[in-house]
């Protein structure tokens, strides 16, 4: 496989990672986590729709990441590659489910405009709170748990193949492990999503992913890697 194709593969993967991170930031909806979110649902409807669109873009970018990284993991282990593909596909699917949950807030907001009694308002408030909790579980458990587990497999493959500097692959492994710990603590009710401990445990994974993306864009794969030929999408792969 030519060095040009290898370089393109690395740069495209790095670009997808950056796009996914950027869309993830833009898809955040802090207004829904605010104490007065229920009273403001109708007013923030446009923001909800915009956030949903960016979450769709993030899910599509992550689907691209799966396609570009699967050959890397496959070069290290066929078994690990199948597990990786399954886990990360599940994670990306939960992102799309989170989009539906986010858009349902606009339905509640429309209902609030016509609510005529305290009982109706109470019903909408209960539905909004259940939806908010459900969205958190979709995004921070349903998506993160399989995605971070897949991340362990990806960074293990990068380390084994020496496709990127070993210290970067190790940093990614540590970051993915910390994200899994944060998710388990959240499931156990020990920390909240909007909290300093949760953000601190997830920050190393985000930083490692940014560094990985920039490394791939600027330097490409490590020239000494044994994965360069196998990990790059070949014409045979494209025809199959």
pLDDT tens, residue by residue, 114-173: 776 788 888 888 888 899 889 889 988 999 999 999 999 999 999 998 899 999 999 999
Q: Is 216 helix (H, G, I), strand (E, B) or coil?
A: helix
231 burial (CB, 10 Å; 0-12 / 13-18 / 19+) is buried
pLDDT digits (tens, 9 = 90+) for 29-43: 888 878 888 888 878
What are the structure tokens assigned to 217, written together?
């864009």
Domain edges within the chain: 3-239
**Which residues, at least 6 apart from 222, have a Cβ–Cβ distance to it below 8 Å?**
162, 163, 164, 165
Q: Closest Cα partner for 4 from 237, 239, 238, 234? A: 234
Which pLDDT belongs to residue 15? 96
Task: Report the alpha-carbon distance of residue 152 to residue 64 in Å, rounded.
Answer: 18
User: How much is the pTM?
Assistant: 0.86
């Amino acid at each position: 496989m030519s060095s040009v194709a290898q370089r393109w593969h690395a740069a495209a993967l790095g670009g997808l990672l950056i796009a996914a991170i950027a869309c993830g930031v833009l898809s955040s909806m802090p207004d829904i986590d605010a104490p007065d979110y229920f009273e403001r649902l109708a007013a923030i409807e446009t923001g909800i729709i915009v956030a949903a669109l960016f979450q769709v873009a993030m899910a599509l970018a992550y689907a691209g990441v799966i396609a570009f990284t699967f050959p890397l993991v496959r070069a290290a282990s066929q078994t690990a590659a199948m597990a990786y593909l399954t886990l990360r596909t599940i994670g990306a699917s939960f992102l799309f489910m989170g989009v539906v949950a986010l858009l349902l807030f606009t339905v509640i907001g429309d209902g609030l405009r016509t609510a005529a009694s305290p009982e109706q308002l109470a019903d909408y408030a209960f539905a909004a709170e259940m939806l908010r909790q459900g969205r958190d579980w979709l995004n921070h458990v349903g998506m993160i748990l399989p995605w971070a587990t897949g991340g362990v497999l990806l960074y293990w493959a990068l380390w084994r193949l020496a496709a990127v500097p070993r210290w970067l692959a190790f940093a990614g492994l540590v970051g993915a492990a910390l994200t899994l710990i944060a998710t388990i603590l959240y499931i156990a009710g020990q920390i909240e999503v909007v909290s300093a401990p949760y953000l601190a445990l997830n920050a190393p994974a985000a930083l490692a992913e940014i560094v990985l993306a920039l490394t791939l864009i600027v330097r490409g794969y490590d020239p000494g890697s044994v994965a360069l030929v196998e990990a790059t999408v070949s014409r045979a792969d494209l025809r199959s």
